Amino acid sequence: MDFPEQVAQLPQPYADSFATLPQRTSAPQSWMVRVADAKYHWYDLIAGFAERPDIRDPIGRYMRRMQFELEATAEKRHLFFAVTRPRVRFDITGVVQWGFFSLKLTLPLLLGAEAAKESITVELKVPFAATMKKPTVILTENFVSLNWGGLVEVLSVHDLLQTYAHALKLPSKVAYVGQTRDPEGRLGKGRLPALHKLRAQCGMDFDTLILVVGMDVEVSCADGDPAALPHNEHPLAAAALQAERADLIEAALIRYFEGSTPRWRHSDERKARAERLTAVQASNHLVQYTIDLALAPEDAGYYNYLCSEFVSAARRHLLSCYVADGQAQVAPMPLPAPARGARQQ
């Protein structure tokens, strides 16, 4: 009788409790962790918005959609990075300029605490539903609205800088690493205590963005990936296994970006994490795991070049990780040489 059948023979509620436990193998494991998807959200808009957005207004619909997206992550176990960048706003007193006989649009910007004047030129594409060849442009400090007649496009200033090429090399500094899974949905409601402290420290000179990252884990093991075992297909067992992997990946990225003594972590949290890492490493017989943190596309500019107080800016961070004495140990690895003709990362 195999393990799932043994569980089925147990009386309730014992069968339910066993169903939450992943089935293990005794063979050593190593993991290869890669980025599956990644998306930025401008956290300040959520944290500083006291009332429910008016969905009759295009900007209100944008705000509500962003809230929905962040609230939905509370049901998933993704990682997120709290990223600070120098303050950037549209200059509502500046001049909006169109190119001759083209859809090249130049928008005025204000950069940094000094509100230095800058501009960005983008070449728009006419949307399918447009009824006008050239949109009406409305600027607020945070948003540009493009009214094409048949529809209204809304882009935040950070959306614009990620979508269109430009020469601005503003740093994306990782200040905090966490997980999106949260029954209280505090991230989507702008109520995460650590981020309140971070924003208070940064003041008005920096913008705080949330980079939500989905990770794929490829397991090397003589007995195969335990996630493929029949019992582990049970939703509770699968969720427990996913939580273990997320916790180890999170711990390594905390150590890498936040250093050995993270300023936003209480001693109780650090102690609980050390106990958790020791247990997870032992139960999975995990020898080593590699994290390939590579963000795409390259044309998103310096938003995808992550740095921190302890780490230099790079679009790709390749890390060799293991657990020792309840701590995630992390060492940067040299990047493989790019193929001939490929762009240097």
Considering the domain architecture, whether residues 283 and 187 belong to the same structural domain is answered as yes
Report pLDDT for 101: 82
Range of the domain at 317: 3-87+170-332
Report pLDDT for 298: 63
Residue 175 in domain: yes
Cα distance between residue 165 and residue 243, in whole Å? 37
Report pLDDT for 337: 74
Report pLDDT for 5: 47
Considering the domain architecture, whether residues 246 and 322 belong to the same structural domain is answered as yes
Report pLDDT for 189: 84
Cα distance between residue 5 and residue 230, in whole Å? 10
**Which SS3 state, helix, strand or coil, does residue 314 take?**
strand
Cα distance between residue 45 and residue 51, in whole Å? 11
Cα distance between residue 165 and residue 299, in whole Å? 6
Considering the domain architecture, whether residues 189 and 241 belong to the same structural domain is answered as yes
Q: Strands (DSSP E) along the chain, which ranges?
A: 29-42, 79-86, 88-90, 97-98, 104-111, 116-123, 136-139, 143-147, 152-156, 172-179, 206-221, 286-294, 306-307, 316-324, 327-332
Considering the domain architecture, whether residues 258 and 322 belong to the same structural domain is answered as yes
Number of domains in the chain: 2
Considering the domain architecture, whether residues 200 and 299 belong to the same structural domain is answered as yes
Whether the ω angle into residue 338 lies within 30 degrees of 0, i.e. cis, is no
Considering the domain architecture, whether residues 136 and 108 belong to the same structural domain is answered as yes
Report pLDDT for 315: 92
Identify the domain boundary among 127, 146, 163.
163
Considering the domain architecture, whether residues 30 and 150 belong to the same structural domain is answered as no
Report pLDDT for 43: 93
User: Among residues 285, 283, 258, which one has the least CA distance to residue 269?
Assistant: 258
How is residue 229 annotated by DSSP? Answer: S
Mean pLDDT in consecutive groups of 10 residues from the start of the chain, 345 residues: 44 50 90 96 82 79 90 93 96 94 94 94 90 93 93 95 88 95 88 89 91 96 90 86 96 96 87 95 96 80 92 95 96 82 54
Considering the domain architecture, whether residues 67 and 184 belong to the same structural domain is answered as yes
Contact 118, 168 (CB under 8 A): yes
**Which SS3 state, helix, strand or coil, does residue 15 take?**
helix
Considering the domain architecture, whether residues 150 and 191 belong to the same structural domain is answered as no
User: Among residues 224, 179, 217, 214, which one has the least CA distance to residue 321?
Assistant: 217
Contact 290, 31 (CB under 8 A): yes
Report pLDDT for 19: 56
Report pLDDT for 255: 97
